[in-house]
Amino acid sequence: MFLSFVVFAILWMPVTVQSVKKRSFLAKPSWDDRISNIEFVAEHQAPSRCTCAAMCDINCGCFGFNSLVEKCRIHRSCDLVNMTSTENGWRYYLINPPPDCQGVMKSGETTSGLYVIDPLGGRQRLVTVYCDMEIDNGGWTKYEDFSIGDESTNYTLHLGGPNTGNLGDSIINPGLSDANLNGMSFSTVDRDNDRWNSGNCAALYKGGWWFNEFHFAFLNGPWPPENWTIPWYPTILSVSNITEVRMMIKPA
Which residues contact Ca ion (rule: CB under 5 A)? 192, 194, 196
Kindly list the distances between the CA atom of residue 205 and the CA atoms of 20, 187, 217, 222, 223, in Å, as whole numbers in the listed order: 35, 11, 12, 8, 12
How near is the Cβ of 233 to Ca ion at its closest, in Å? 20
Nearer to Ca ion, 169 or 194 (CB): 194
How near is the Cβ of 202 to Ca ion at its closest, in Å? 9
Separation between Cα atoms, residue 149 and residue 199, nearest integer Å: 24
Task: Name the burial class of residue 105, with classes exposed (0-12), middle (13-18) and buried (19+) by CB atoms within 10 angstroms of its CB.
Answer: middle
How near is the Cβ of 159 to Ca ion at its closest, in Å? 21
**DSSP state, residue 197:** T
Nearer to Ca ion, 100 or 194 (CB): 194
The phi and psi torsions of 187 (rounded to 5 degrees) equal -110, 145
Nearer to Ca ion, 32 or 192 (CB): 192
Nearer to Ca ion, 109 or 194 (CB): 194
From 74, 77, 71, 131, select the one nearest 101 (Cα to Cα). Answer: 131
The answer to whether the beta carbons of residues 89 and 68 sit under 8 Å apart is yes
How near is the Cβ of 194 to Ca ion at its closest, in Å? 4
Q: In what order do the strands lie in the sheet with 62-66?
A: 25-28, 90-95, 62-66, 71-75, 42-45
How near is the Cβ of 196 to Ca ion at its closest, in Å? 4
Nearer to Ca ion, 196 or 214 (CB): 196
